[in-house]
Amino acid sequence: MAHPSVPVVPALKDELDIVIPTIRNLDFLEQWRPFFQPYHLIIVQDGDPTKTIRVPDGFDYELYNRNDVNRILGPKASCISFKDSACRCFGFLISKKKYIFTIDDDCFVAKDPSGKDINALAQHINNLLTPSTPFFFNTLYDPYRDGADFVRGYPFSMREGAPTAISHGLWLNIPDYDAPTQLVKPRERNTRYVDAVMTIPKGTLFPMCGMNLGFNRELIGPAMYFGLMGDGQPIGRYDDMWAGWCAKVICDHLGLGVKTGLPYIWHSKASNPFVNLKKEYKGIYWQEDIIPFFQSVSLPRECTTVQKCYVELSKLVAEKLGHVDPYFQKLSDAMVTWIEAWDELNTPSQAASETKTSPVNTK
């Protein structure tokens, strides 16, 4: 029990950045203020860099537009998408913190069945700070949660679990459906609150949605590249999916865990299904080749770091998916550029020299 006179410091206050990709004013932050205000925000402004993005007073943030991306990365900026939410991964790159939470600007505070506001950030932090169980499924779901435990038959030698790399949250109201599903079910809303956090078993892929997502940047950051999407690219809205497939095979290889379930956010805006179909359609049939590829991936033992795994994966992408479309050779090259940029920005000497055009705003 915290002593009343000692202020409670929010968990991971100085170890976590909140990354928001945006093309609009960030009034949505007003609703998140009680939960987000103590944390540093990294705002990645997409689209026209001359447009001014309004951020509510009282938030500590840095804002990067496309001019900043080009200035900081130089030629390597080619790996950061333009005019797609995939641009958010620049925020992952430029951050210096151990943890990341990323959220879309049309995601609001949801209420649990008791009517209480859900602090999605606190739940992600709890998910990331407790182990995962990728090697043996616990049928009572998250065994580390208050009021739960490992069930009978769960090997004691496996109860230490694995470090958690990713925490994948869900959405009430507008579900993250693909365009064909949106088109046939335009009025479907997700009203089902499932009170569970589960570890996605080793060897199983999943469709990672980027709109309510936390991860340990030190464990899996270099794999969280959101690919080449949007302007000038033949595909969109597969940014988070690509990152999730790459990250999951690497987590499996390195013995790291991925959780999905709580927390929920309230996803307020359904994007246009016709526009989405134009962005997604190639991905809808390419993924019938992409998924078997990721299911077949076996990374060599010498790949002991995320970077080594990721570069090895980029080679396999070119080799095994290049026949599907020339795009995958471009993507393979961009994956290598991303790792070069990651290592360049995250070596102490280089990182310190980065300056920001937009002054860091303090409360």
Q: What contacts 114, CB < 8 A, 6 or more positions away?
A: none
Q: By CB under 6 A, tell whether 130 contacts ligand LCYJ2WEX.
A: no
* Count of other CB atoms within 10 angstroms of residue 354: 12
In this complex, which beta carbon is closest to Mn ion, that of residue 65 or of residue 212?
Answer: 212
Q: By CB under 6 A, tell whether 209 contacts ligand LCYJ2WEX.
A: yes
Helix (H, G, I), strand (E, B) or coil at 235: coil
Q: By CB under 6 A, tell whether 68 contacts ligand LCYJ2WEX.
A: no
Residue 16, CB half-sphere, CA atoms under 13 Å: how many? Answer: 25
Helix (H) or strand (E) holding 211: none
In this complex, which beta carbon is closest to Mn ion, that of residue 106 or of residue 218?
Answer: 106
The CB-of-277 to ligand LCYJ2WEX minimum distance in angstroms stands at 12
Residue 85 binding result from ligand LCYJ2WEX, Mn ion, none, given CB thresholds of 5 to 8 Å by partner type: ligand LCYJ2WEX
Our measurement of the distance from residue 137's CA atom to the centroid of its chain's CA atoms, rounded to an integer in Å, reads 24
Q: Which residues pair with 102 in a beta bridge?
A: 19, 213
Give me the torsion for CA of 345, 234, 292, 340, rounded to 10°: -10
Residue 205 Rama label (left phi>0; alpha psi -120 to 50; beta): beta
Residue from 80, 87, 128, 172 in contact with ligand LCYJ2WEX (CB under 6 A): 87
Cβ 91 vs Cβ 210: under 8 Å: no
Residue from 65, 85, 132, 182 in contact with ligand LCYJ2WEX (CB under 6 A): 85
Q: By CB under 5 A, tell whether 106 contacts Mn ion.
A: yes
In this complex, which beta carbon is closest to ligand LCYJ2WEX, that of residue 83 or of residue 159?
Answer: 83
The CB-of-232 to Mn ion minimum distance in angstroms stands at 22
Count of residues in contact with ligand LCYJ2WEX, rule CB under 6 A:
22
**If you count them, how many residues does the chain have?**
363
Residue from 66, 168, 217, 237 in contact with ligand LCYJ2WEX (CB under 6 A): 237
The CB-of-271 to Mn ion minimum distance in angstroms stands at 6
In this complex, which beta carbon is closest to Mn ion, that of residue 72 or of residue 265?
Answer: 265
Residue 69 binding result from Mn ion, ligand LCYJ2WEX, none, given CB thresholds of 5 to 8 Å by partner type: none
Q: By CB under 6 A, tell whether 46 contacts ligand LCYJ2WEX.
A: yes
Backbone angles phi, psi at 200, to 5 degrees: -75, 120
In this complex, which beta carbon is closest to Mn ion, that of residue 73 or of residue 118?
Answer: 118
Please report, as a single letter, which amino acid is at residue 272: N
Q: What contacts 301, CB < 8 A, 6 or more positions away?
A: none
Give me the torsion for CA of 248, 218, 210, 75, rounded to 10°: -100
The span of 16-24, 143-151, 215-223, 346-354 binding ligand LCYJ2WEX (CB under 6 A) equals 16-24
Q: By CB under 6 A, tell whether 175 contacts ligand LCYJ2WEX.
A: no
Q: By CB under 6 A, tell whether 62 contacts ligand LCYJ2WEX.
A: no
330/228 Cα distance (integer angstroms)? 8
The pair of three-digit structure tokens given for residue 126, joined into one six-digit string = 């709890």
The CB-of-139 to Mn ion minimum distance in angstroms stands at 33
The span of 6-14, 99-107, 179-187, 246-254 binding ligand LCYJ2WEX (CB under 6 A) equals 99-107
* Count of other CB atoms within 10 angstroms of residue 291: 14
Give me the torsion for CA of 323, 327, 331, 332, rounded to 10°: 30
The pair of three-digit structure tokens given for residue 216, joined into one six-digit string = 């340990």
Q: Which residues pair with 45 in a beta bridge?
A: 22
The span of 53-61, 78-86, 150-158, 182-190 binding ligand LCYJ2WEX (CB under 6 A) equals 78-86
**For binding to Mn ion (CB under 5 A), which residues are involved?**
104, 106
**For binding to ligand LCYJ2WEX (CB under 6 A), which residues are involved?**
21-24, 46, 83-85, 87, 104-106, 176, 209-211, 230, 237, 239-240, 269, 271
